[in-house]
Amino acid sequence: MKRFILTLSLLTALLASCTPVDLNASIPTFDTGIDPNTWAQVPAGEFYFGQHENIETTNAYEIMVTDVTAQQYADFLNAALADGYVKIDSDNVVGYYPGDTFHGIKHELEIKAGDWAYIPLNDPSQRIKFDGTSFTVQPGYENHPMTMVSWFGAWGYCEYYDYRLPSEMEWTKAARGEDERPFPWGDEILRENANFYSSRDPFENMSSFGSRTSPVGFYNGKTYDGYQTLESASPYGLYDMAGNVWQWVGDVQPQEGFSDRFMHGGSKDTYDMDLRIWVRNSAPPMYFSPGVGFRCAR
Amino acid sequence: MQFIKTRFNYLFGSTKGLILVAIAMIAVVTAIWGMLSGPMAEMGVREIVIKLFGMDIVQAEREGRIIILYHSIAMAVVAIETYMVTGILKMKEFFKMTVRLLITVGYILTMVFGMGFAYFGHNWAFHGLYITGLSLIFFAGVLLCIALWPWDNEYYITDTDYARTKKGIDLERVAFFTTAVTTVLSALFGAVPGSFFGNGFEAFLAENIIRLPHKTTMEYSVIGHLHIMLALIAIMITLIIGRWLNFKGIWHKIAMPLMILGCIVLSLGVWGVVTPLEPVAHMIIYVGATPSMLAALFLLIWSWGKFAKEGTAHIAKPTFLQKLGAMVSDPLKFGPTWQMLFMNFTTSGIGIFMAIRLDEIFRMWPAREERIELTGHWHALSAIIATIILMYYGDMLGLKGKVRQVYGWSIIFLSDLALGAVTVFEMKRLFITEAEQQPLVNMLMYMIDFGLGFLLVLLAIVMVWRMTDLFKPKGRWTEEMTHELSQEVTK
């Protein structure tokens, strides 16, 4: 009998692991009160770059207060499709990218000039839908960060509006300000500071679908249906510079032959250690994921 | 006073006592620091542990802390292997005593003051004692090399069942010697960049820079050091297990030269990463790894054949199943080589697969996924080495009958379950998307936590048993005081 119960428990657990995830499970909707169309001013000057606090300098620039939202990206696609800036190629939205210089170094990918996929259309994790004529956002995700977007798609968005992706240094300075803090809001991280793995936010259910994105600017000190967040803006007032989604930065070939693009900020799927400002992730520019987004600078 | 003196003599004067102390130290560190990451962190246990012990956790120093933690545990493992080598091989008493004294003081200083420095504020006196400990271990290693010198008539062998030269030089001893020498040199290979990056806490984890195409000589040296040290610890435990099982015959004669060759070529390949040979260093490493792994395979073939033959000696015509039953009848002797075979699924196989399909598959994923694979596969190798040590230790304890079976099979089953799950976790992106992975991840985490958790419980039971035994006037410890490992080599 004991053996039977043990076997049954193991089988149940095994079957539970095979249960498909409902990617369209209902999601709570909240208005965070943070306008994704606002920009923060970052002054010129020195700041601490990297884990070992090297002193670097940037010029003055502006950077988006939040990640680009799904709604903003859908609006871009509609305008860009009408302009012929992007087109539909099988299951992808594609756009032109002028290519990287190729050095032929070991493991280097050759990124040629041409059309590259900005976003996939038929991936079940894609929150932007295309009905053959226009792009819309899956209800509930309008103010969530745009995900499932390649570096090309992020680059293309910023270029379209005459913006650019922030460089790694600009991103760091915007997140950190001028002191040595590891997180945008300070020295320590609590669950109420950011959306990270197992942070027990209202968008997460670790026993079924796992972690999902939160609306941009969610961690602003407001209470949402009893869930109290902490004000977690960076010194320049940027939200979500740690957690929620990794953010593409604009550096191309920071080392000769390095064709990956860097990402910063950690995501809903990473432990808190990856939310430290200096932690780098990287991927080839054609990579997309439900945990990767971006914001622009100008 | 006599009570304490006799126990102290056992714990620090006998091979089995020294091994017990080192295992206990590792168990304590693993139990406490294991609660700072993974599911324990998710459940909030980490915060409780940090407050309870008054740890000083600075976010920017995480990498440095982890490096000291790894070194603290690794030094105790190196000490255990050294106790085994000095207990199982012939050597002059002076060397045996001196090596043991130095390495014992060394690893305890390293562990206590290293962890004290890393996790409890930066007392620089502690840092100095940590470095002193590492230096003593290095010096113990140099003395061990001298003690193992194989070209001494005293250690020549005449028995033709064992690998030897025409003159009688014991090739197994040469293999031990080669491993010890390459280990000492490889420690130096890490000490230089360790000092370089340790200055000002500019520490980094190798897995975080692996994708950058241009690395400095010092960065290459760190990457080479961590790989070769783990490989050499694995080679040394393979040699120790072979000696304990009394590896001999034709397989031994083929395996030992391969082990020597593999060890040298592998080390040269790794050291080569800081020379102009860097572009071909990986090829040299593959060339070196192959004979070493073949030697381990020959030990497996020989030992399994021996267990099957000896276990069915009383049967005129044993069937395949009877042979198989005999082969696995003693989990503590079958287990170490089984774990070596299992390692091919969790470590070598994964490593080779990654190397072959790196650009097509793994470099198309984010660096973080690659980091999971890299850290996962070497954690698995470390854990496998630990289980092999625990199985040999189980035999040293004289476990018999059902206890021996339960202890041995529990180690095999629990560790393989956990490490198998770790391997699937590492490779999950091959068959499941990020958005759909959570139920699978949960299942794998249950398996990992169940396997490793109960393995630690088993270890805790053994430690509690051994501690209570120390309070008995005629406990098992009294018998172990005089027993040397060389007397317990399988006949």
Instruction: For chain B, list the domains and their CATH numbers.
Output: 22-147 (no CATH), 156-329 (1.20.120)
Tally the C-alpha atoms within 13 A of residue A80's C-alpha that lie toward its C-beta: 23
Cβ contact, residue pair A108, B213, below 8 Å = yes
Cβ contact, residue pair A17, B442, below 8 Å = yes
Q: How far is A228 from chain B (nearest CA, A)?
A: 18
Q: How far is B416 from chain A (nearest CA, A)?
A: 16
What is the distance between the alpha carbons of residues B173 and B242, in angstroms, rounded to a whole number? 12
Among B45, B50, B438, B446, most A C-beta atoms within 10 A, so best to mutate, is B438
A1 assigned to some structural domain: no
Cβ contact, residue pair B41, A271, below 8 Å = yes
Q: How far is A71 from chain B (nearest CA, A)?
A: 21
Among B202, B358, B363, most A C-beta atoms within 10 A, so best to mutate, is B363
Q: What is the pLDDT of residue A2?
A: 60
What is the distance between the alpha carbons of residues B413 and A14, in angstroms, rounded to a whole number? 18
Burial of residue A131 (CB within 10 Å: 0-12, 13-18, 19+) is exposed
- Looking at the structure of chain A, the number of domains it has is 1
**Collapsing DSSP states into helix, strand and coil, what is residue A39?**
strand
Q: What is the pLDDT of residue A267?
A: 97
CB of B4 within 8 Å of a chain A CB? The answer is no
What is the distance between the alpha carbons of residues A275 and A183, in angstroms, rounded to a whole number? 7
Residue B303 structure tokens: 């030992």
A80 assigned to some structural domain: yes
More confident of the two residues A11 and B347: B347
Partners of A263 on chain B (C-beta within 8 Å) are: 366
Residues A183 and A196 sit within 8 Å (Cβ to Cβ)? no
CB of A164 within 8 Å of a chain B CB? The answer is no
List, for residues A242-279, the tens digit of each pLDDT value. 999 999 999 999 999 999 999 999 999 999 999 999 99
Q: What is the pLDDT of residue A52?
A: 87
Q: What is the pLDDT of residue B122?
A: 87
A7 assigned to some structural domain: no
User: What percentage of chain A carries pLDDT values higher than 90?
Assistant: 86
Cβ contact, residue pair B214, A206, below 8 Å = no
Cβ contact, residue pair A280, B364, below 8 Å = no
Write the residue in B60, B208, B438 that is nearest to A210 by C-beta.
B438
List, for residues A117-135, the tens digit of each pLDDT value. 999 999 999 999 999 999 9
A138 assigned to some structural domain: yes
User: What percentage of chain A carries pLDDT values higher than 70?
Assistant: 94
A236 assigned to some structural domain: yes
If you average pLDDT over every residue of chain A, what do you get?
93
φ/ψ bin of A55: left (φ > 0), alpha (ψ from -120 to 50), beta (otherwise): beta
Q: How far is B270 from chain A (nearest CA, A)?
A: 19
ipTM for the predicted complex = 0.90
Cβ contact, residue pair A255, B201, below 8 Å = no
pLDDT band at A5; cut points 50, 70, 90: low
A35 assigned to some structural domain: no
Q: How far is A66 from chain B (nearest CA, A)?
A: 23
Q: What is the pLDDT of residue A12?
A: 64
A28 assigned to some structural domain: no
For residue A99, give the CATH number of its domain: 3.90.1580.10
CB of A257 within 8 Å of a chain B CB? The answer is yes
Cβ contact, residue pair B436, A180, below 8 Å = no
pLDDT band at A25; cut points 50, 70, 90: confident
Cβ contact, residue pair B435, A125, below 8 Å = yes
Q: How far is B202 from chain A (nearest CA, A)?
A: 6
pLDDT band at A49; cut points 50, 70, 90: very high
CB of B478 within 8 Å of a chain A CB? The answer is no
For residue A152, give the H/E element and its range: helix A151-160
Partners of B440 on chain A (C-beta within 8 Å) are: 17-18
Measured from the Cβ of residue A41, the count of other Cβ atoms closer than 10 Å reads 10
Q: What is the pLDDT of residue A15?
A: 60
A residues 75-104 closer than 8 Å to B (CB): none
Q: What is the pLDDT of residue B418?
A: 95
For residue A280, give the H/E element and its range: strand A280-283
Mean pLDDT over residues A155-182, rounded?
97
Q: What is the pLDDT of residue A209?
A: 86
Q: What is the pLDDT of residue A7?
A: 64
Domain range for A112 = 40-293
Q: What is the pLDDT of residue A1?
A: 61
Cβ contact, residue pair A283, B365, below 8 Å = yes
Residues B302 and B251 sit within 8 Å (Cβ to Cβ)? yes
Q: What is the pLDDT of residue B201?
A: 63
List, for residues A213-240, the tens digit of each pLDDT value. 999 999 999 999 999 999 999 999 999 9
Q: Which residues of chain B have pLDDT under 50?
A: none
Cβ contact, residue pair A52, B200, below 8 Å = yes
Q: What is the pLDDT of residue B17?
A: 95
